[in-house]
Amino acid sequence: MLLASFGRMALTEKQTQELHKAIEQRRATLLAELREDAERVRNGRFRDLAGSAPDPGDESVATLIGDLAHADMGRDLDELRGLEAARTRLADGSYGVCIACGGDIGVERLRANPSAVRCIDCQTMYEKTHLSPSSTPGSSL
Ligand SMILES: [Zn+2]
């Protein structure tokens, strides 16, 4: 109980480091893929502006996301956004804590999905309520 006011860190330091590494690696892989896609988008969209293409090494992630938001890469972008959010939560100590119930997400689940923000119970509930609205209990129309 003494630790409650210190913020809930559900994971050990070692697990946190392991997951941090997994997030960084996955993020780097995704960024590389998205940059390639962005190049293709730019080459198509800005074909007439040859010579003024931005330096790909000089762009921020935000710029990259902005560029790609217009392309058909929503799923990768969602994952990237999830990983960005996971990095933020790692930094502020809320990583590994379910955003819905405040419980532990669990290290195995985080290993499988490092950007998970809900424990398996809450995720199951979330998917039920969001993917099949007709079966939402207690909804008043
Ligand atoms: Zn939960």
pLDDT at site 36 = 87
DSSP codes, the chain: -TTGGG----S-HHHHHHHHHHHHHHHHHHHHHHHHHHHHHHHHHTGGGTT-PPPGGG--HHHHHHHHTTSS-HHHHHHHHHHHHHHHHHHHT-TTB-TTT-SB--HHHHHH-TT--S-HHHHHHHHHHHH-GGG-TT---
pLDDT at site 140 = 45
Taking the centre of ligand 1 as the mean of its atom positions, its distance from the CA of residue 22, in whole angstroms, is: 22
Taking the centre of ligand 1 as the mean of its atom positions, its distance from the CA of residue 105, in whole angstroms, is: 7
pLDDT at site 84 = 95
Q: Token match 């290290």: residue?
A: 107
Nearest CA to 79 among 17, 48, 109, 34? 34
pLDDT at site 42 = 75
Delimit the domains of the chain by residue range: 10-135
Taking the centre of ligand 1 as the mean of its atom positions, its distance from the CA of residue 26, in whole angstroms, is: 24
Rounded CA gap, 89 and 72, in Å? 28
Taking the centre of ligand 1 as the mean of its atom positions, its distance from the CA of residue 119, in whole angstroms, is: 4
The model's pTM: 0.65
Taking the centre of ligand 1 as the mean of its atom positions, its distance from the CA of residue 43, in whole angstroms, is: 44
Mean pLDDT, contiguous 10-residue spans, the chain (141 residues): 50 93 95 86 61 57 68 77 95 94 95 94 93 51 49
Fold that domain 10-135 belongs to in CATH: Four Helix Bundle (Hemerythrin (Met), subunit A) (1.20.120)
CB 30 within 8 A of CB 119: no
